[in-house]
């Protein structure tokens, strides 16, 4: 029995690894396709202006799609949540607008999170 339990756990891990490394190889492929695609096949692919302007909006929309659920998570039962991360992010945005410095954005956001947690005793 013990051995069986061990085995299933090992299998689980292997599957996780399979999932992870499949994803990683495909992400490597993403890098290659987007960066080297034009280098390799540039003679054959035109990039019309319409497509170009549509492509301009996609990356930022995707980043917003990742960032927002991290800042404003939605609990399966309790619904929308607000926590100190949102406050920290607001401080970080303010600092960026003021200094135009991406590094300070990260530092101030982290410090704001730590400080506010300490202040609110969380």
Partner 1 sequence: MRAGLHAVSPGLIALAIWGVVTGIAMVKSGLTETQAIVMSLLVYAGSAQLTALPLLAAGAPIWLIFAAGIIVNLRFLIFGAALHPFFRDLSWRKRLLLGYMSVDVSFVVFMPRFADAPKKGTFEQHWFFIGTVIASWIVWQVTSMVGIALGAIVPVSWSLEFGAVLALMAMMLPHITSRPILISVMAAGITAWLTQMWPLRLGLLAAVVVGIMVGMWSERRITPKAKT
Residues 6+ apart with CB under 8 A from 38: 45
**90 belongs to the binding site for partner 1 (CB under 8 A):** no
By CB under 8 A, is residue 88 in contact with partner 1? yes
Token duo for residue 49 = 């202006």
State the Cα–Cα distance between residues 87 and 19, nearest whole angstrom: 35
- Residue numbers 92-121 binding partner 1 by CB under 8 A: 92-93, 96-97, 100, 102-103, 105-106, 109-110, 113-114
* CA dihedral for 5, 7, 12, 17, sign (positive or negative): positive
Q: Map tokens 């019309």 to a residue.
A: 48
Query: What number of chain residues touch partner 1 (CB under 8 A)?
Result: 67
* Interface contacts to partner 1, rule CB under 8 A: 17, 19-40, 42-43, 47, 52-74, 76, 80, 85, 88-89, 92-93, 96-97, 100, 102-103, 105-106, 109-110, 113-114
């Amino acid at each position: 029995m013990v051995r069986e339990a061990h085995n299933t756990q090992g299998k689980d891990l292997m599957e996780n690894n399979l999932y992870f490394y499949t994803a990683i190889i495909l992400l490597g492929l993403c890098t290659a396709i987007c960066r080297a695609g034009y280098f390799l096949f540039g003679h054959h692919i035109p990039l019309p202006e319409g497509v170009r302007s549509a492509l301009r909006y996609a990356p930022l929309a995707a980043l917003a799609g990742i960032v927002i659920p991290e800042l404003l998570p939605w609990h399966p039962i309790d619904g929308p949540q607000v926590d100190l991360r949102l406050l920290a992010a607001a401080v970080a945005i303010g600092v960026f607008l003021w200094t135009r410095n991406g590094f300070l954005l990260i530092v101030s956001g982290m410090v704001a999170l730590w400080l506010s947690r300490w202040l609110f005793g969380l």
